[in-house]
Amino acid sequence: MKEKKLKIAIQKSGRLFEDSIRILKDCGISIDNGKDQLKASARNFPLEVMYLRNGDIPQYLTDGVADIGIIGENLIVEKGEDLEVMQKLGFSKCRVSLAVPKKEAFDGLESLRGKKIATSYPNTVRQFLDQNKIEADLHIISGSVEIAPSIGLADAIVDIVSSGSTLFKNNLKEVATIIKSEAVLAASPKMDDDVRKIASKLQFRLQSVLRARESKYVLLNAPNEKVDEIIKVLPGMRSPTVLPLAQEGWSSLHTVIEQEKFWEIIDELKAIGAEGILVCPIEKMVL
């Protein structure tokens, strides 16, 4: 009986491609792909990779041609509302935002009434306008949306924004965020049970990698009389490890700290009396 493989669709080029390949590699998956291949197999995991245009991935998932895919949340809103989000992946964060010319006054969403809006995301914009009971005309553009106001095609635009530099260069200002987005692992509604078991194994590896990326391993020394106070500050997975040092009256404490809380906690530890604080990256964190 032929071994079943999990078919994953990823962007063949662009901002999602490199991060998608990197996270699969961090999951211990080795992919045999040559230059310009559109399909490749993993050597050490039942996985087949399909390299597709980003905008085509939702349809491949909906049709069951691909079992899972790495795409932006914004594309699920735009093209794949029937797709299941298995896992948020924490990279390629951006937002779909409304922007208008810098010189134009913007007095809230009501000022969009009757105006022309250029976008590559018509379904997302229509939902946003309907939710806010605003009637406006949409001008659908497949690329270079930012130029639309300057050539008279539109009064405003809705597009993906990361740093905002492209808007700035085109004399536009961001006035409202419609949705926030990041890369996600999305699943086809047609995936069968056997393939879903493989997808669950991949998701388990992804979760271990993501937890590690979001955490730091911290080792510190402290006088024994400060240990209890320090333990109250440290947020270990269960509780910090405490080991006696060769120097009498001192202990070494080991724990894991979330990246977003790291500096706040380090400042507290120093104030209490922690010394010799070492910070190490974590490759994987399996719970």
Residue 91 φ then ψ, to 5°: -125, 175
pLDDT digits (tens, 9 = 90+) for 201-241: 999 999 999 999 999 999 999 999 999 999 988 875 677 89
pLDDT of residue 15: 78
**Separation CA 92–CA 193 (nearest Å):** 30
**Separation CA 243–CA 252 (nearest Å):** 5
Average pLDDT, integer, range 71-84 = 90
Sign of CA dihedral 167, 170, 175, 176: negative
Kindly give, in sequence order, each residue whose CB lies less than 8 Å from that of residue 260, ignoring residues fewer than 6 positions away.
214
pTM of the model: 0.85
Is the pLDDT at 33 greater than 80, yes or no? Answer: no
Which of 150, 180, 192 has the alpha carbon at shortest distance from 4? 192
Domains 94-181 and 215-281 equal at CATH topology level: no
Is CATH 3.60.20.30 what the domain over 94-181 is classified as, yes or no?
Answer: no
Options 3.40.630.40, 3.30.565.10, 3.40.190.10, 3.30.420.40; CATH of 6-91+182-212: 3.40.190.10
DSSP line for 28-92 = T--EE--TT-SEEEESSSSEEEEEE-GGGHHHHHHHTSSSEEEEEHHHHHHH-TT-EEEEE-S-S
CATH class of 215-281: alpha beta
Count of Cβ atoms closer than 10 Å to residue 284 Cβ: 15
The residue ranges of every structural domain in the chain are 6-91+182-212, 94-181, 215-281
Residue 150 φ then ψ, to 5°: -70, -20
